Amino acid sequence: MEVTEVVLASGHENILAIHKTTLEITRANQLSKQGNCVIAVAADKALADLSPKFKETLRKENAKITILIEVGDAMEVVNAFGSPKLILTHSKDMVVRKSNYICARTLAIRADKAACDFSRKIVEKLKNAKQEVKITLTVKV
C-alpha cells in the first residue's frame, strides 16, 4: 500500500539548515535564526492536516516514508520510517528525526538525512522568501 500527501511551502531569508539530527517544515510565516532545523515555512499543511489514511499507513509496523523536497530545478530526498507510536496531531509543524524520539511534532524517525545534510545549493535557494517549495510525502508498507 502507498499513500501520498503534497505540502506546499516557501523559503525564508533566515533558513540555515544546519541542525545535525532533525529537519522541520512549519506553517509559521516567520523564522528566527534559532530555528536552524527549518527547511521551509508557510506550509499549507501540518501533521494535524494529513489525511486519516496517510496517518494510518504511517503508523503501521515497517512503514517507510520518502520525503521529496523540490526547490526550483533542484531536489533533495530523505528516507525515514513511521511508527505505531506516532501521534501526528501538531497543528503547526512536521519534524523528521534521525533518532527514535517521538512527540506530537514528529512526522518520521530514523531518517537518513537532517537539515545539515542538505545540498548547500538547495539551502541557498531556500533562503529566498519567494521560493516555492514542494514537499511530497510518500508512505509505503
pLDDT string in tens for the chain (141-residue length)? 999 999 999 999 999 999 999 999 999 999 988 889 999 999 999 999 999 999 999 999 999 999 999 999 999 999 999 999 999 999 999 999 999 999 999 999 999 999 999 999 999 999 999 999 999 999 999
How much is the pTM? 0.97
Quickly count: other Cβ atoms within 10 Å of residue 33's Cβ.
10
Task: Spell 67-87 as b/e; 16+ CB within 10 A means b.
Answer: bebbbeeeebebebbbbeebe
**Domain covering 2-140: architecture:** Sandwich (2.60)
How is the chain split into domains, by residue range? 2-140
Q: pLDDT tens-digit profile of 12-50?
A: 999 999 999 999 999 999 998 888 999 999 999 999 999
CA geometry: angle 69, 26, 117, nearest 5 deg: 45
